[in-house]
Amino acid sequence: MAGLPVRGIKTVVEAIEDSGPGIRMYTLCDPDRWELPPFRPGAHIDIHLPGGLVRTYSRCNDPADNMRYVVAVKREADGRGGSIAFHDRLRAGDTLVVSLPRGGLQPDGAPHVTFVAGGIGVTPLLSAANYLARRGGDFTLYVVVRGEPPLATMLAPHRASGQAIVYDTGVSGRPPLEALIDAAPREAMLACCGPLDMLNAFERATQGWPPERVHVERFVPPPLPIDPEAKPFKLVLARSQREIEVALGESMLNALLSAGIDIPASCCGGICGACRIDWLEGTPVHRDRVLSPAERARSLMACVAGSAEERLVVDL
């Protein structure tokens, strides 16, 4: 394939497998079969696709399986084109450039983990379940789906052990999330990935839980509300000593890209973590769904962050 990006990790599509209705699983390996950079359970990578698209996908394999990155992609005819490029254009043997893994779940130390997955949202949670199963961790994985579950082969050992429970909504309807949450020990970690209505219900059901023990993975950025306090501001690049004007209604990311600054980007909605940069001076307005309070003390997501002051200095 022509036009491969120069930055990132070069991989080869080693295998493509059907893994459910409209779902394919892609195995990416180093061309020379070297180990790939390590990753946390369910970590994300940005994948550079044919036609210049960059999309973010979660790992579904165990981090101990460090010879390959495995991603599952559901073909979305009305999506942004990434899944169609995967399904219609990629073949085994093709070369893809991917980013270093980032993010993911940190289930270590939790006496129990309750996972709630909606459909293809099982992808990152399966990675964490595989990790915990190998280490003897205690978990329950609830999978809510209509019909055949995705990644059924990978899911099978957990179903056999009783640690994965599948709810077919075409047969039994969707279980009340409150009941699933209430069944978890109070010291448990809770994690959810799925469609927006499920995520919203999960967040309502976990409002009384400590935020550090609740993890939400999103596929689609939530709409950003209009900020009546938003103002244009000057972005100062500390290393290059450049100053860039960010106009009212313009994203910091767009201003940087328009100025020729090469910033990785994927979701453009504050959920994937690709465009993370460090800030040095000023007062950022954080509007992302990916950075923790501690991380916001030094970093921001350029796609959605603003500035409360006329000047913001970043480490670029």
The domain that contains 272 carries what CATH number? Answer: 3.10.20.30
**Shared-domain flag, residues 186 and 277:** no
Residue 257 lies inside a defined structural domain of this protein:
yes
For 246-277, letters b (16+ CB in 10 Å) and e give beeeebbbbbbeeeebebbbbbbbbbbbbbbb
For 14-36, letters b (16+ CB in 10 Å) and e give bebeebbeebbbbbbbbeeeeeb
Residue 236 CB neighbour total at 10 angstroms: 18
Which of 217, 248, 273 marks a domain boundary? 217
- Residue 231 is which amino acid? K
For position 264, what pLDDT does the model report?
Answer: 80
> Do 72 and 15 contact (CB within 8 A), yes or no?
no
For position 235, what pLDDT does the model report?
Answer: 95
For position 249, what pLDDT does the model report?
Answer: 86
Residue 143 lies inside a defined structural domain of this protein:
yes
For position 65, which CATH number holds? Answer: 2.40.30.10
Residue 104 lies inside a defined structural domain of this protein:
no
**Shared-domain flag, residues 211 and 240:** no
**Shared-domain flag, residues 198 and 241:** no
Which of 64, 98, 132 marks a domain boundary? 98
> Do 74 and 57 contact (CB within 8 A), yes or no?
no
Which residue range(s) make up the domain with 132?
113-217
> Do 40 and 59 contact (CB within 8 A), yes or no?
no
Looking at the structure of the chain, the number of domains it has is: 3
**Shared-domain flag, residues 203 and 122:** yes
- Provide the H-helix boundaries in the chain: 82-89, 122-135, 152-160, 177-182, 196-205, 252-258, 293-296
Residue 222 lies inside a defined structural domain of this protein:
no
Dihedral in degrees, nearest 10, Cα atoms 105, 108, 114, 120: 30
Residue 86 lies inside a defined structural domain of this protein:
yes
For position 7, what pLDDT does the model report?
Answer: 63
- Please report, in tens digits, the pLDDT of each residue of the chain (316 residues total): 333 334 689 999 999 999 999 999 999 999 999 999 999 999 989 898 887 788 889 999 999 999 999 999 999 887 777 889 899 999 999 999 998 898 889 898 899 999 999 999 999 999 999 999 999 999 999 999 999 999 999 999 999 999 999 999 988 888 899 999 999 998 999 999 999 899 999 999 999 899 889 999 887 777 777 777 788 999 999 999 999 999 998 999 989 999 988 888 777 888 878 889 999 999 999 988 888 888 899 999 999 999 999 999 999 9
Which of 169, 186, 217 marks a domain boundary? 217
